Copies of this chain bind each other. A is one copy, B any other.
């Protein structure tokens, strides 16, 4: 459950037998090509699978013209992979026989397991145990299988090939839902996008999403990965896969559904998945630069643009347009998507104005319909945007002009010339010319009808590029402190001492068992002070009136000590009282809340937010998997909507954001070092003083599992 080092690629290559087999057995093979046990054989025969194909059927001598075997035991050798398409109650014995035969990879189509009911879940557990016992990598059960068109292997019963077999391409698809995975495949096919490798993981009893992603991250067949997930069941392989894909510069665009409460409900009824907290999932995807698609169309838009494998580390967008209106629309879309559009250099602007007096050459560069009267101007403008503007991405908007008899041919020729001269740029064309798209694509263009979709895809390429660059520059994580947790949830004083030792500074304070000790402590700290009841049994002190503020002198300390003990006795008579905590009262600070939660999938996750309404009403918080360094902590803090309050808004002094970031990073390292008994941490408030003066935990709870 804790963070793991990324394994070598080799770990993921263990799926080779599943996705790139040289011999395939089909258990439950059918002579009818349209049946579940018949389809894989029919597809591989039709397309010419380049390996051995062994149907197993006790009742027939041949299946679809191939010699059939009566049982697993009768097979000539252990197949690289076996497809299991038998009734649910025969799956486990079949798997066991395959294991004994020496087979180490299976695809289980059969349904009737965890997706059904409790009994099915128990049967699935037994199945998994048998697979593990034999060291078998098992896809499914209840999955639609896998295909790899590069070797004509179709270990799937999808009916989507009725529309057409895969076409060449470099997109791989991983999906927990078989129907949705093939939907994406089929939608890609309709757009002329080749996705030759598809893996559907079904119930994920053994092979899960992370394994499949990891295989693609190291496989030469795949350069761009589309993934569909309803819930992430394991973290180590998943994290390792995201990390490997990023290091190998293979972008992942993911549809993770179940964001909505509605969607969450449906996800549960659809699969046996544990829908992890979406906020945590989002934080993990952000960490590795996975771009999350909101729609299938957006997923394919991004995958399409990614097939060019141009990922600018710092993305700047130059726009060339024949319509000023479209230029404005594109600017709006770019700002929305967070893509910078720096202006053209002044000299270049002046030169373009000399060519077309009423053009708007800033960026967007509106060359106006004038260029259609003087066609060579088109390449003058395009060349200037590329050369003088130096943009990494260039979007060129031609509307229906590109389809016109009068302008179309010259436009294509001139734009081809400029594109060829600058092959390192991400060149994107927005035009209304359905019959020209294939021609432009042959020239190497990425084509979108809608300019907003083009901008969105361009933005994603920049996000991938930034993530790939971050991976290359990544500093080692923070060093972990030595942490020894107490046997159970400690008192506030112990909690703060633990955190203070780990680098989350505590407010100066003393635990005092009698009122005279409290007065001495207060004298040392300086007035005013805060008094708090001290008890391992009272976690939320303010609920019983256990906190006194603005205690101004020795007499007030004496009186306050008595008041707190009275209140504790009255409201929490069973609580063990250890005395009173005397602390420096800090004023004029910004109140933050820091915390750690233990995600069931991803382990310890740190949180930061501004105190009060920001957290409670607006849910304005940042999350990240532990541990992380101070630079990452500062990125989280700067991402808060309320960040201006730390940055001098409303006439305040700027707060010590650097100290806050150090404390947050230290908390993340503490959470990992503390190990799995750490159930959670709340540091609330953490008081952040003006720049240079640090920050202090004023209250803290460290929850420990006993």
Contacts and interface: CB of A to CB of B under 8 A. Distances in A.
Interface of A: 34, 111, 115-116, 159-160, 162-163, 175-177, 179-180, 182-183, 186-187, 190, 228, 230, 255, 257-263, 265-267, 269-271, 294-297, 322-329, 331-336, 341, 358, 360, 362, 364, 366, 369, 372, 399-401, 403-406, 432, 434, 449-453, 613-614, 616-618, 641-642, 644-645, 649-650
Given A295-B453, A613-B642, A324 B270 contact: yes
Nearest to A368: B179
A31 B152 CA distance: 63
Contacts of A642: 613, 617-618
Nearest to A642: B617
Contacts of A228: 325
Contacts of A186: 399-400, 432
Contacts of A453: 295, 297
Given A182-B400, A404-B159, A450-B297, A270 B616 contact: no
Given A259-B332, A294-B452, 4 more contacts: A179-B369, A182-B400, A186-B399, A187-B432
A111 B267 CA distance: 58
A358 B296 contact: no
Given A449-B190, A618-B642, A295 B400 contact: no
B296 A260 contact: no
A183 B432 contact: yes
10 contacts: A177-B323, A179-B322, A259-B332, A262-B335, A263-B331, A263-B335, A270-B325, A294-B452, A295-B451, A296-B451
Contacts of A266: 324, 327-328, 331, 360, 362, 364
A260 B401 CA distance: 27
A261 B328 CA distance: 10
B163 A613 contact: no
Given A255-B329, A270-B328, A260 B336 contact: yes
A177 B645 contact: no
Given A262-B334, A362-B269, A432-B190, A452 B296 contact: yes
Given A325-B257, A650-B617, A331 B179 contact: no
A177 B262 contact: no
A327 B257 CA distance: 10
Given A183-B432, A186-B400, A650 B270 contact: no
A406 B33 CA distance: 13
A162 B403 contact: yes
A68 B400 CA distance: 32
A267 B182 CA distance: 43
Contacts of A332: 257-260, 262-263
A107 to B, nearest CB: 18
A298 B649 CA distance: 37
A599 B260 CA distance: 38
A360 B269 contact: yes
Contacts of A259: 332, 335-336
